Amino acid sequence: MKEAFLKACRGFKTDYTPVWFMRQAGRYMPEYQKIRQKYDFLTMCKTPEIAAEVTIQPVKILGVDAAILFSDILIPLEGMGIKIEFIEDKGPQVSPTIRASSHLENLKEIEIEAVDYVFNAIKILVRELHVPLIGFSASPFTLATYVIEGSSSKEFINTKRFMFSEPAGFHKLMEIFTKATLKYLTEQIRAGVHAIQIFDTWAGILSPFDYEIFVKPYVKKIIDNIKNVPVIYFCSNTSGLANHLNDLNANVLSIDWRIDIKDAVNIFKSYSLQGNLDPLTLLGTEEEIFQRVERILIDGKRAKSHIFNLGHGVNINTRVEVLKKLVDFIHEFKFTGV
């Protein structure tokens, strides 16, 4: 098995910068589209053989250093009595919504058996992959936003109303999701994943004050209780939350493009860093792409260790050929003067 990714996760310098991409298995890839024409998204997630095939596609085609399980951050809700649907052009739809303390009775403890297709896919992948496999889940807060809003949101009015009008009830909701997330991730580790990534996709909507109260204790509890594999923490808009992220004790901090990686190296000295190219850079000229990638590689070399990634998922308009060239460029890049 290729070791560069896991070595970097553990904080060790590597001979070359390992690379993988968030949402590397997806709609931009013709091979994915062929399968997607036959099955809806949720069926793909729930069929271990299909999930495994789609997970492997970018590893074979792009030559990345790690695979991430093909699934969705909302899958744990399926085991908690919450229905999720994926509607074209509308994204995930969640029901029933939970917008007050009195609604918490609609949530049940996660039944791992209800989502065993995830663990069956992992077992297939562990046998077939020659690179490490990353398992993942949404953070408790990000799960909460979808359950409260019923879908994605721009302003998160219902989420913040619940937080600020019924803080005790909101904390109870976070406790429920923390327990479920930890159980879900622990089961992924038992099935064989080599690393875990926690997607705190919407934590950046909060002030640092509210992040400390409503998010940090729960994320920290999960990270502190994950054993035997490295943990990657991804949070959009990380720069405003820097003081709180610094003591989460994750192995790797995955940063978006809204912070200069040079600044991130200085702020997050104890972390291995992952990131942080703007995904839409890949729609530009190759000259622009590789200039920016080179800068990230050079500045990332000053971190404890560095894993190249995008600041968010691969955009559907990205050309596969560009990603292939990017992976080769990163693997072949020679550092000088660092």
Query: Which H/E stretch holds residue 213?
Result: helix 208-214
39 sits in which H/E element: none
Here the tokens at position 220 are 């920290």
User: Which residues are the active-site residues?
Assistant: 23, 27, 36, 72, 146
Tell which residue, 191, 134, 130, has the closest CA to residue 20. Answer: 134
**In which element (H, E) is residue 53 found?**
helix 48-62
Instruction: Give the C-alpha separation, 73 to 60, whole Å.
Output: 24
Strand-strand pairing, 83-87 and 91-95: antiparallel
60 vs 63: CA distance, rounded Å: 6
The CA distance from 336 to 13, in Å, is: 15
Q: Which of 121, 103, 120, 2 is nearest to 51 (CA)?
A: 121
The residue written with tokens 């998160």 in the block is 156
The encoded tokens of residue 74 equal 């909302």
